[in-house]
């Protein structure tokens, strides 16, 4: 016959298993993606897509949109597996250190807020445009969305 201590131990084990299961994320099937068309090191256009199927599907659909618009060279810039997200897309027009006019985009997703999506977009822009500085070149928000 189980003692009170063994019952308590079993209850605690069951609670531990239940809490652990709550902390493990479920398989996410939805996602978003940003794809940028480029030529000669300059960003020409950006597309972002959300797909209920998967982030990979969103990536392919964004590339297809750019291809339909006539762009040949496009590259993934941000991909996320989130069923719901805040999205910010930034654009910056500036001069490179060699005096060339440049356009760069930043794409940020967040499950929490627009502010976090903005920070993600700023980091994204800087990682793809190494010489770009937000305080010097500036930027404008071209897309603010939620899915």
Tell me: the pLDDT tens digits for 57-101? 999 999 999 999 999 999 999 999 999 999 999 999 998 888 889
- Domain assignment present for 15: no
At 6 the pLDDT is 58
- CA–CA gap between residue 127 and residue 140 (Å, rounded): 17
Coil vs helix vs strand at 138? coil
- Domain assignment present for 16: no
At 3 the pLDDT is 65
Range of the domain at 112: 31-146
- CA–CA gap between residue 17 and residue 95 (Å, rounded): 56
- Domain assignment present for 103: yes
At 71 the pLDDT is 97
Please give the DSSP secondary-structure letter assigned to residue 132.
-
- Domain assignment present for 36: yes
- Check pLDDT > 50 for residue 48: yes
- Domain assignment present for 35: yes
Q: State pTM to two decimals.
A: 0.77
- Check pLDDT > 90 for residue 5: no
37, 45 in Cβ contact below 8 A? yes
133 pLDDT tier (thresholds 50, 70, 90) = confident
- Check pLDDT > 60 for residue 4: yes
Lookup: tokens for 44: 């020409």
The number of distinct structural domains making up the chain is: 1
- CA–CA gap between residue 143 and residue 78 (Å, rounded): 14
Region at 138 (left for phi over 0; alpha for psi -120 to 50; beta for the rest): left
């Amino acid at each position: 016959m189980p003692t009170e201590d063994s019952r308590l131990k079993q209850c605690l084990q069951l609670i531990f298993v239940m809490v652990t299961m709550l902390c493990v994320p479920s398989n996410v099937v939805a996602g978003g993606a940003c794809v940028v068309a480029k030529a000669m090191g300059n960003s020409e256009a950006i597309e972002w897509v959300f797909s209920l199927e998967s982030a990979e599907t969103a990536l392919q659909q964004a590339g297809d949109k750019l291809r339909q618009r006539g762009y040949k060279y496009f590259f993934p810039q941000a991909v996320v597996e989130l069923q719901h997200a805040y999205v910010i897309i930034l654009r910056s027009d500036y001069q490179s250190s060699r005096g060339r006019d440049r356009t760069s985009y930043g794409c940020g997703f967040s499950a929490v807020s627009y502010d976090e999506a903005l920070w993600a977009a700023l980091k994204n822009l800087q990682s793809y445009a190494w010489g770009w500085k937000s305080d010097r070149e500036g930027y404008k928000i071209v897309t603010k969305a939620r899915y």
